[in-house]
Amino acid sequence: MVLACSLAFVFSCNRHYSVKSNEYKQYGVNQELVADSSLIKYYTPFKAKMEAEMNRVVGIASDEMPKSNDPETALGNFYADAILIETQKVNPLVEFSFPTTKGGIRNSIQKGNITVSHVFELMPFDNEGVILKLSGQSVQKIIDFLASSNGQPVSGIRMKIANQKAYDVTIAGKPFDINKEYIMVTSDYLANNGDDQSSLANPMERKNVGKLIRTMLMDYINEQTKNGKKITPKIDGRIIVANE
């Protein structure tokens, strides 16, 4: 060892370092740590401003819209209608929406003021709207999924379900035709096979709406408010499960 080092010294005209050893430690950043108050002081004004924004009222719900597993829900209808209407402003050829599964709707909307924070709670994820052109066969798969999963939030599509099979299906007011192509809007999450939506996996065309789903919901509510309208829960029989 000593000899090696002496040699090293002799030839060390060129400074050179090599790793002798190393070790690792991971700190959990949790309640046991003291916080640096200067940083808290620094971000407090930002927090105040953010909270003011989050508490900003964007609309009014004329009644409660609870999250539920019913085949058709007022909350799901509001959500899917809003996304369809906002998407049609970008592309009027879009015929129906399936923007989320029931599980993707994260919170109920209470009667009264709807704040920015409420919209975030309804849709906390940063998923984008995606417009897909689908074959009739792919749309049939969506229809099958809607029927087998006891209904999902949709707009522009109507159906009856018996024994987990759909019948009397219409899209944009016309009977569903498996030989036709359809243009629909969903979220990038579902389009990317989230929640195992294989029906959306092979679109003939795919385009982004260019907006987050949450932004579209916000835009829809804002517009309703601007026009002096409240958000009104609506069940219109778009998905009816026949008594067996």
Does 91 interact with another protein (rule: CB under 8 A)? no
Does 242 interact with another protein (rule: CB under 8 A)? no
Contacts (CB under 8 A) with another protein, residues 124-143? 126, 128
Selected binder of another protein within 193, 208, 222, 232 (CB under 8 A): 208
Selected binder of another protein within 48, 50, 178, 235 (CB under 8 A): 50
Nearer to another protein, 1 or 227 (CB): 1
Distance in angstroms (rounded) separating the CA atoms of residues 139 and 43? 49
Could you count the other beta carbons within 10 Å of the beta carbon of residue 212? 17
H/E element holding 139?
helix 136-148
Beta strands in 72-138 (DSSP E): 96-97, 112-115, 128-134
Shortest Cβ 214–another protein spacing (Å): 9
Nearer to another protein, 16 or 174 (CB): 16
From the list 11-19, 86-94, 139-147, 172-180, the region that binds another protein by CB under 8 A is: 11-19
Does 54 interact with another protein (rule: CB under 8 A)? yes
Q: Which amino acid is at 112?
A: G
Shortest Cβ 233–another protein spacing (Å): 26
Q: What is the DSSP letter of 13?
A: T
Sort 75 into a burial class: Cβ within 10 Å, 0-12 / 13-18 / 19+.
Answer: buried
* CA count, 13 A, side-chain hemisphere, 20: 2
Does 210 interact with another protein (rule: CB under 8 A)? yes
Contacts (CB under 8 A) with another protein, residues 20-49? 20-40, 42-43, 46-47, 49
What would the x/- binding string for another protein be over residues 92 to 121, using CB under 8 A? ----------------------------x-
Long-range contacts of the stretch 221-230 (C-beta < 8 A, 24+): 221/58, 221/59, 221/82, 221/114, 221/119, 222/58, 222/59, 224/59, 225/58, 225/59, 225/60, 230/59, 230/60, 230/61, 230/62
Interface residue list for another protein (CB under 8 A): 1-2, 4-40, 42-43, 46-47, 49-50, 53-54, 120, 126, 128, 208, 210
